[in-house]
Amino acid sequence: MSELRKDPIIDRWVIVAAERGARPSDFKEERKEVETKSCPFCGGNEHMTPPEVFALRDGPQNANGPDWHVRVVPNKFPALSIHGSQERSGLGLLDRMDGIGAHEVIIETPEHSVHLSDAPVSQIARVLWTYKSRLVDLRGDRRFRHMIVFRNYGSIAGASLAHPHSQLIALPITPKAVKDRLRAAQAHYRAKERCIWCDLIRQEAALPERMVQRSEHYIALAPYAARFPFEVHLFPTRHCHDFVLMSDDETWELAQFLKEILLRIKVTLNDPAYNMMLQTAPNPLPRPGRPDYWGTIEYDYHWHIEIVPRLTKVAGFEWGTGFYINPVAPEQSARFLAEAEVPIIAEAVAV
């Protein structure tokens, strides 16, 4: 029988239609990746992108030159612009403000076809260090209140170029979905003086039917009220509200952990398209007029990564109700992913 499940963090219900009995082989995607000889993200084509804002190189720091490991450039077609005012205006119920922000592309490797699941751990660590560096830098702009790093893998997931890359968008407002999580975390902490995600991690680790993988400092779970089949959330087991506060050792371990999770998804589901989102704390700089707006965030929030394979489509029911229908029980998803046979990751020397 189907179940209605409520997300333990926010007030969102999901229909788990487990009686459909879907298995990984039921989700087959026709991959239509377009390879191009003139990819602007490939090594040697640096002149085809806007000037870089950041890069990791071993040798001479020749800006916009070759011999880089990771490179960050402004998006050529940005959703938001760095120029503009944060002031709001309105007419009656209609509010508006300039579309200020930042929209950057993190080019993860000079190699056209080496995605994170196949990249060396050292390269994944470089990508994670780049995430941290760009978040820290953009937070220096008081106009930016929230940043999200995301990765669209595959055209179905929204990737317009096949070359491995992530994106970072800095926003002048805190999105509603983020506010909902922050307020739920704040309310839980005020009631119990504990982080709600720490409580959830302890509970799920003790009843491991939804646990996909665990290491010394990280855990991957299929959420109890997963919106989509084979959705996975990755958490640090140590309480930490902000991704940028990871130590170098924790970053290296996360690179290994993330590679294994992505390999499990690739092997189990035949390399599906997916979206990956880094959910971390908003800009900690005090807000004008609200210096203590997220005053307890250091104690009540918990950064995490969400990975959503694109196996089903959101249609009229979901748009009209806000409910999601998941045809695979999270417990079943966790079991399939946990049992996947993946290559042993032997690389263990930090960069």
Q: Is the pLDDT of residue 319 over 50?
A: yes
* Residue-level pLDDT at 29: 60
Name which CATH class applies to 3-26+41-79+98-338.
Answer: alpha beta
The percent of residues in the chain predicted with pLDDT above 70, rounded, is 87
How large is the average pLDDT for residues 98-106?
A: 89
Strand order in the sheet with 13-16: 3-6, 13-16, 324-326
* Residue-level pLDDT at 45: 93
How large is the average pLDDT for residues 232-252?
A: 96
d(CA 266, CA 84): 42
Q: Is the pLDDT of residue 33 over 60?
A: no
Nearest-5° angle of CA 230, CA 233, CA 237? 140
Return the top range by mean pLDDT from 138-142, 220-224, 312-316. Answer: 220-224
Q: Is the pLDDT of residue 123 over 80?
A: yes
Query: How much of the chain is in helix, strand and coil states, percent to nearest 5?
Result: 30, 25, 45
User: What does the pLDDT look like over 45-83, one tens digit per residue?
Assistant: 999 999 999 999 987 667 788 889 999 999 988 888 777
* Residue-level pLDDT at 22: 66
Q: Is the pLDDT of residue 117 over 50?
A: yes
Nearest-5° angle of CA 136, CA 137, CA 143? 100
Mean pLDDT (the chain) is 88
How large is the average pLDDT for residues 172-186?
A: 90
Q: Is the pLDDT of residue 218 over 60?
A: yes
How large is the average pLDDT for residues 295-312?
A: 93
Catalytic residues: 165
Spatial CA neighbour of 267 closest among 24, 9, 92, 14: 24
How far, in Å, are 55, 153, 347 from residue 117 at the CA level? 22, 11, 14
The percent of residues in the chain predicted with pLDDT above 90, rounded, is 62
Residue type, 6: K
The region of weakest confidence among 124-133, 304-313, 320-329, 340-349 is 340-349
Q: What is the pTM of this model?
A: 0.90
pLDDT-derived band at 160, boundaries 50, 70, 90: confident
d(CA 110, CA 327): 38
